[in-house]
Structure 1
Amino acid sequence: MESSSHQDSVDSTPVSYESSQHSQLSPSYPRAQTTSLSLSSTPVNDQAHNGYSSPATSVSPQPEEPFKAPSPAVTRKKLSGYVGFANLPNQVHRKSVRKGFQFTAMVVGESGLGKSTLINTLFSTTIKPQRLYSQPGSELPSTVSVESTSADIEENGVRLRLTVVDTPGFGDYVNNDESWKPIVDNIEARFDAYLEQENRVNRQKMVDNRVHACLYFLQPTGHSLKPIDIEFMRRLHQKVNLIPIIAKSDTMTDEEILVFKQRVLRDINYHQIQIFSAPIYDNEDEETLGENEAIASKIPFAVVGSTSLVQSAITGQEIRGRSYPWGVVEVDNEDHCDFVKLRQMLIRTHMEDLRERTNLVLYERYRTEKLLGMGVAQDPTVFKEINPAAKMAEERTLHEAKLSKMEAEMKMVFQQKVQEKEAKLKQSEEELYARHKEMKDALEKQRLELEEKKRRVESGRPLTPDRPSVGQQQSQKKRFGLGK
């Protein structure tokens, strides 16, 4: 997000603050590039520091050119009058301003490097209060903690929900093994919370608590990166936008800062650590390209933070800076430190790029790995360019599978029809057999009756029973009382 006003004095009114010992979490950028930068090709003698020496040479692997499908031909048409879609940017602007923005920045580094001071200097207000250090003899914490502070700030009608995640205790112990683990767990927990919100039925009120930028503070030693610095950045560069910062650069001379930057970048290149760099677009103008190159040339940023106003030795005006017996260090003077370039990249020109790369690259990578680990297959064509040959093979496989399914269904239907026909024929056969048996029994009975009649005819017996005589009939009537 680029503010509409480029004044150094920002009218920021904190509305509400929320602090917690642990982040309270609420349950898809291909454009941004993460590259390793180099300041100069001037060789620098390596010096051992804390048992670690930076390598003499570094070779960065060149990624293969991804396959690009041919784009369809576009016919340009000339409009005969005003249509209105040129007002789309204004519509997006009004909607974004009405909705507001969310940005989460994580600060990591050893105690005493000015992390809270730099955050307050960046936003010209007290976002993160100064930490109260423990008294001598008090019990010290044994692990790295993660603290989150949120504030609503507004500038020229644009509302920003800013969340600062601090990591007190990092690098402050004798044994710093796995001191990065609570930080990695916190970043992944924020990804999990956002993934849970995406899986809900109602996704209208989604809160984005994902970390969009991680400001990693380096001690101004003038030597190379320490092992804990390298290991931390190796663990997190695939999960968050890393921005290395040389803290308290006013303790070093210009030559020492230049040499230190070269060594830091060489270590980053050698260990293939991806740090955030301003994205480059095809239609950028020369002025924007020049600004991006100027910002890239300052990485890692050598900064000085201060919220105090001191009197400038040149103009006599009150400015933000630090006063020393030998002079005044001006925070907003690019000749004194890289604070202006850091603020320009982080807030004024590339805040939306940080948010977009977090959503479309870092979060999508984590989301894909998470779903694959849960057994949910992910279509690789969603986030990759389509290969026509692979796409044709995939369509052929799907077509063959569809044909096989249709063939199996047709066989099943045919078999069912055959079974139904066989059952119907069997039933008809049984009915015919029953009728045949019935007719056969009737014919057999008729045959027996005819044979019986034949025997009677042959034996001379009447076919019908003998009728009684008249006398016999009268005697029977008298017996039953029927006669006169």
Structure 2
Amino acid sequence: APGQRLLCWEEVGKGQFLSRGTPGPEPVAPMGSSMEAPAMLEELPPGAAPGKGAHELFGYVGIEAVLDQMRVKTMKTGFEFNIMVVGQSGLGKSTMVNTLFKSKVSRKASQPGQEERIPKTVQLQSVTHVIEEKGVKMKLTVTDTPGFGDQINNENCWDPIIKYINEQYERYLREEILITRKRKIPDTRVHGCVYFVPPTGHWLRPLDLEFMRRLSKIVNVVPVIAKADTLTLEERAEFKQRIQQDLKAHAISVYPQEDFDEDPDDRLLNNVIREKIPFAVVGADQEHQVNGRRVTPGCTLTWVGALPTATSPQPALSCLAVENPMHCEFPMLRDLLIRSHLQDLKDITHNVHYESYRVRRLNESNRVALSPANGLPGKDEDDSNL
């Protein structure tokens, strides 16, 4: 009917979106003008074809509303994040994970009272939790590697870890290439691997170098100096510099990789991060009584001054705040893994590491047919279906 549209305008805030309801008014031309389309407000670059390039809009369209749509959808469905911690026993891996997420999410916290024994071989153990903050749900999987580096002979102790990471890629690939696949494929791929370097104050051990050299090719590796409060500030700075020299000398590319910087802003931020890696961290997840008051979570106590004596049984105590950047670099690690680069970790896992694995496996399938029992093409089927 004249003066009506099938869809009308309903105002929401400063923007408008199409919805079903009462008809809206027809557009009215300004006095003294016709209803012809107005001229473009932005000149085209010389030689540019119409319709290409960014143009200035005539008014508010509502494109930015897609961000709100994505936020609402994410809050409804949640998202997945899978992290692996690797290092020798006693370096505070479980405590660090609990501190990162401010909850008991580590493997040890999920098995209270169980006696901890160092296994004879590397045994990977995963624990999954659903944590929620301000309406946003995250399915967090923490994979621990008890037994890594704890033996007299640690030759090839990284093989079970590499096998586990590739198994998760294989699981995702098998779901992805099914003819009828799930709308949302469960993602168990490892998005980040935090490697704990013992605070020796010297150079990286051959075990550290070989592990990071091999793992950095298939997963995002973030090295940290564990229990950094056992080093003085001078020792910590020298140790960090030696580690950076070792990584550069052996061409080991840890996260964030310089090759994957997408724009100048990312490069500036990542350059600052690369200068700080490896992060010198301290983990703590308990409250303490200090001078008659309870210290907030994320603090640990360290001795300062003289040790206890017969005449002075109470030594001076100082609070080492884990979240204080003047004390340690835990806030930088937390920001990297959660607040600023979490989605980038997932993107690089999918677009780089998983893609490399996928291409290699599909190339192999051209020579050796995959099993039809797993829903994949058999020998007689055309490999081009993959």
**Is the structural similarity TM-score above 0.5?**
yes
Amino acid of the structure 2 residue aligned with 1:150? T
Count of aligned positions = 300
Q: Which has the larger radius of gyration?
A: 1
2:350 is aligned with 1:369 = no
2:151 is aligned with 1:181 = no
Q: For residues 184-333 of structure 1, what are the structure 2 equivalents within 5 Å?
A: 184-200=162-178, 201-277=180-256, 280-282=261-263, 284=265, 292-311=270-289, 317-326=295-304, 327-333=318-324
Residue segments in structure 2 that go unaligned for 5+ positions in a row: 1-46, 305-317, 369-386
1:124 Cα deviation after fit: 0.3
Amino acid of the structure 1 residue aligned with 2:92? G
Q: Secondary structure at the match of 1:161?
A: strand
Contact 1:311 1:318 (C-alpha < 8 Å) held by counterparts: no
Residue 342 of structure 1 corresponds to 333
2:63 is aligned with 1:85 = yes
Q: Please point out which of 66, 91, 104 is paired with 1:113.
A: 91
In structure 2, C-alpha distance between the alignment counterparts of 1:370 and 1:72, rounded to whole Å: 42
Alpha-carbon deviations, 1:361-403, whole Å to 9, x = none?
Answer: 00001111111122179xxxxxxxxxxxxxxxxxxxxxxxxxx
Q: Secondary structure at the match of 1:197?
A: helix
Q: Secondary structure at the match of 1:102?
A: strand
Alpha-carbon deviations, 1:53-93, whole Å to 9, x = none?
Answer: xxxxxxxxxxxxxxxxxx98634433223222232222222
1:270 Cα deviation after fit: 1.2
Residue 105 of structure 2 corresponds to 127
Distance 1:321 1:195, change over 3 A: same
Q: Secondary structure at the match of 1:318?
A: coil
Amino acid of the structure 2 residue aligned with 1:372? N
Aligned-CA RMSD value = 2.5
1:199 Cα deviation after fit: 1.4
In structure 1, C-alpha distance between the alignment counterparts of 2:80 and 2:217, rounded to whole Å: 21
1:312 Cα deviation after fit: 6.1
Q: Which moved more, 1:241-250 or 1:76-85?
A: 76-85
Q: Larger helix proportion, structure 1 or 2?
A: 1
Distance 1:263 1:193, change over 3 A: same
Alpha-carbon deviations, 1:78-137, whole Å to 9, x = none?
Answer: 3223222232222222222222110000000000000000000000000013575557xx
Amino acid of the structure 1 residue aligned with 2:161? I
Amino acid of the structure 2 residue aligned with 1:325? W
In structure 1, C-alpha distance between the alignment counterparts of 2:206 and 2:48, rounded to whole Å: 50
Residue segments in structure 1 that go unaligned for 5+ positions in a row: 1-70, 378-484
1:294 Cα deviation after fit: 4.1
Amino acid of the structure 1 residue aligned with 2:250? H
In structure 1, C-alpha distance between the alignment counterparts of 2:48 and 2:190, rounded to whole Å: 38
Residue 35 of structure 2 corresponds to none
Residue 124 of structure 2 corresponds to 146
Amino acid of the structure 2 residue aligned with 1:261? K
The alignment's TM-score, normalised by the length of structure 2, stands at 0.72
In structure 2, C-alpha distance between the alignment counterparts of 1:95 and 1:283, rounded to whole Å: 30
Q: Secondary structure at the match of 2:241?
A: helix
Distance 1:80 1:141, change over 3 A: closer
Q: For residues 397-476 of structure 1, what are the structure 2 equivalents within 5 Å?
A: none
Alpha-carbon deviations, 1:292-317, whole Å to 9, x = none?
Answer: 4443332101000000113567x985
In structure 2, C-alpha distance between the alignment counterparts of 1:105 and 1:127, rounded to whole Å: 11
Q: Secondary structure at the match of 1:151?
A: strand
Contact 2:220 2:254 (C-alpha < 8 Å) held by counterparts: yes
2:150 is aligned with 1:172 = yes
In structure 1, C-alpha distance between the alignment counterparts of 2:252 and 2:264, rounded to whole Å: 28
Residue 37 of structure 2 corresponds to none
In structure 2, C-alpha distance between the alignment counterparts of 1:312 and 1:357, rounded to whole Å: 44
1:319 Cα deviation after fit: 4.5
Residue 354 of structure 1 corresponds to 345
In structure 2, C-alpha distance between the alignment counterparts of 1:72 and 1:144, rounded to whole Å: 60
The alignment's TM-score, normalised by the length of structure 1, stands at 0.58
Matched-pair identity in %: 42
